[in-house]
Structure 1
Amino acid sequence: METALYLLPVTLGDTPVEQVLPAYNKEIILGIKHFIVEDVRSARRFLKKVEASINIDELTFYPLNKHTSPDDLSGYLKPLQEGHSMGVISEAGCPAVADPGADVVAMAQRKNLKVVPLVGPSSIILSVMGSGFNGQSFAFHGYLPIEAADRIKRLKELEGRIYSENQTQLFIETPYRNNKMMEDIVKTCRPQTKLCIAANITCEGEYIHTKTIREWKGHLPDLTKVPCIFLIYK
């Protein structure tokens, strides 16, 4: 196993590991003792899911989230510089994509350390695949503004890019506000604009449906507290 910073995808929910991750990922994980993680508890659960016999107490975890100071972050790659492979684990999906793991990857690149991204589920890519929208040009915007007026303005801007740039637009919302987001999209966007709602991707109850705004009106699903991604296109 080559010494590197391995970017380790995580399941998007309770999906069995073998359904969405290659066996090779497990081999790599078993060879790593140092993990940079978004959340220590969820990382521990994921590793036990990959291999129940893993001795968690033998592993070292370095938390990387909004509370991590630059001083702490600067020392996280010391084991890698000393010749020990390290892994980066997000709470769900692929690390460093809409994820704080990007900061440590950037640091590894600056230090000319080897970075190896492994194969795994990405809700962004999977939702584009399932939407029927333009997969040649798309943009992910993360969370839209919380304030109603600002969010409506942003939705109109993104819808404008659909028609001016022929580009698929993707965004997410905090799960408990999904229903409000859908209502705002339906109220704001043009009747002919298409909306794809992709929820519980790769998990039980997976829901990926594309309809025009006109077709969605009066028929929106209840997606309270459900992991979801929204896509709009013409």
Structure 2
Amino acid sequence: MNTSTAKPGSLYLVPTPLDFGVSQDSATAPSQWLPAETLTAASSLTHWITENAKSTRAFLKRVEATQGLAAPLQGQHITELPRAAHKKGDHTPDTQGDALARTLLAPALLGHDMGLVSEAGMPAIADPGSSIVRAAHAMGLRVVPLTGPVSLMLALAASGLNGQNFAFVGYVPQEATERTQRVRELESLALKTGQTQIFIETPYRNTALLQALMKTLHPHTRLAVCCALTLHNQVVRSALVHDWKRGNGALAGLPLDAPAVFLIGR
């Protein structure tokens, strides 16, 4: 990676395996889900902007075991995104947030290549980091997305739903009445236009969401639930809602305590 002060560094968008929070005994080698080029790029970086410093250090330990690091873990410069980006996201342009992002990218102006990383998967997709990417473009830095797992795309491909027209809508409301209204809005859009609707939930609320979907959705709407993608307990289930309800066994065998992606459509 370039360290010359004569030329600005680049911003690398570094995907990570989707097993964040899995015990080390169950975690797979990063080479199972990240190609050699991605691991080589990650191993050569020493400056990071991250969603969570602890998970980034854990990721770098795994890279080190596979590929080695350009600097020891103690010598890695890891800066966390502000808490507001975690809680509210940073996908919408904001003058204050974008100015802070420029500050975090200051090492790149000194010639250091930098990595942007989230807890799992691709940064800035269903995770914070968009403000950093916007700032990098505004500063004239080269932005390099690296190859790795993206749970939303894996789920869409595995769902059997429309992959030509789809939308990721983030989280649905937690409150029951608001959630029901939002689910009906998304279902109406999906059935009228054929656009697949993709959403997620915090794992400890996955069961409640799935129960609400089965209660709210039309019997002939297709519902796909993709749990623990790329993990040892991965389960992908896609069926019409009336088939989900048969035998009252919809929840059986689904690891709903793991990250999940929900999709609805025709």
Q: TM-score range by the shorter chain?
A: over 0.9
Q: Distance in 2 between the 1:173 and 1:31 partners?
A: 34
Which of the residues 14, 19, 28 maps onto 2:32? 19
Q: Which residue of 1 aligns with 2:11?
A: 5
Q: Distance in 2 between the 1:111 and 1:15 partners?
A: 37
**TM-score, normalised by the number of residues in structure 2:** 0.84
1:199 aligns with 2:216: no
When structure 1 is superposed on structure 2, of 216-225 and 104-113 the one drifting more is 216-225
Contact 1:198 1:229 in 2 (8 A): yes
How far has the Cα of 1:88 moved from its partner?
0.5
Which of the residues 75, 79, 99 maps onto 1:58? 75
1:100 aligns with 2:132: no
SS of structure 2 residue aligned to 1:75? helix
Q: CA separation of 1:65/1:204 partners in 2, compared to 1, >3 Å: closer, same or farther?
A: farther
Q: Distance in 2 between the 1:75 and 1:123 partners?
A: 30
Matching residue's letter, 1:131: S
Q: Distance in 2 between the 1:211 and 1:65 partners?
A: 40
How far has the Cα of 1:66 moved from its partner?
2.7
How far has the Cα of 1:67 moved from its partner?
4.0
Matching residue's letter, 1:176: Y
Matching residue's letter, 2:76: L
Structure 1's consecutive aligned runs of 4 or more residues displaced over 6 angstroms after TM superposition are none
Q: Distance in 1 between the 2:144 and 2:256 partners?
A: 36
Q: How does 1:170-189 map to 2 (within 5 A)?
A: 170-189=198-217
When structure 1 is superposed on structure 2, of 221-230 and 195-204 the one drifting more is 221-230
Q: Distance in 1 between the 2:177 and 2:261 partners?
A: 21
Contact 2:165 2:195 in 1 (8 A): yes
Deviations 1:157-176 (A, max 9, x none): 00011111110001111111
1:232 aligns with 2:264: yes
Q: Distance in 2 between the 1:15 and 1:195 partners?
A: 29
Q: Which runs of 5+ in 2 are unaligned?
A: 3-8, 20-26, 86-95
How far has the Cα of 1:51 moved from its partner?
1.4
Contact 2:102 2:136 in 1 (8 A): no
Matching residue's letter, 1:139: A
Deviations 1:79-114 (A, max 9, x none): 111111000010000011122111100111111211
Provide the aligned length of Structure 1 versus Structure 2.
Answer: 234
SS of structure 2 residue aligned to 1:51? helix
Q: Which residue of 1 aligns with 2:149?
A: 121
Contact 1:134 1:168 in 2 (8 A): yes
How far has the Cα of 1:75 moved from its partner?
1.1
Fraction of identical pairs, as percent? 39
CA RMSD of aligned residues (A): 1.5
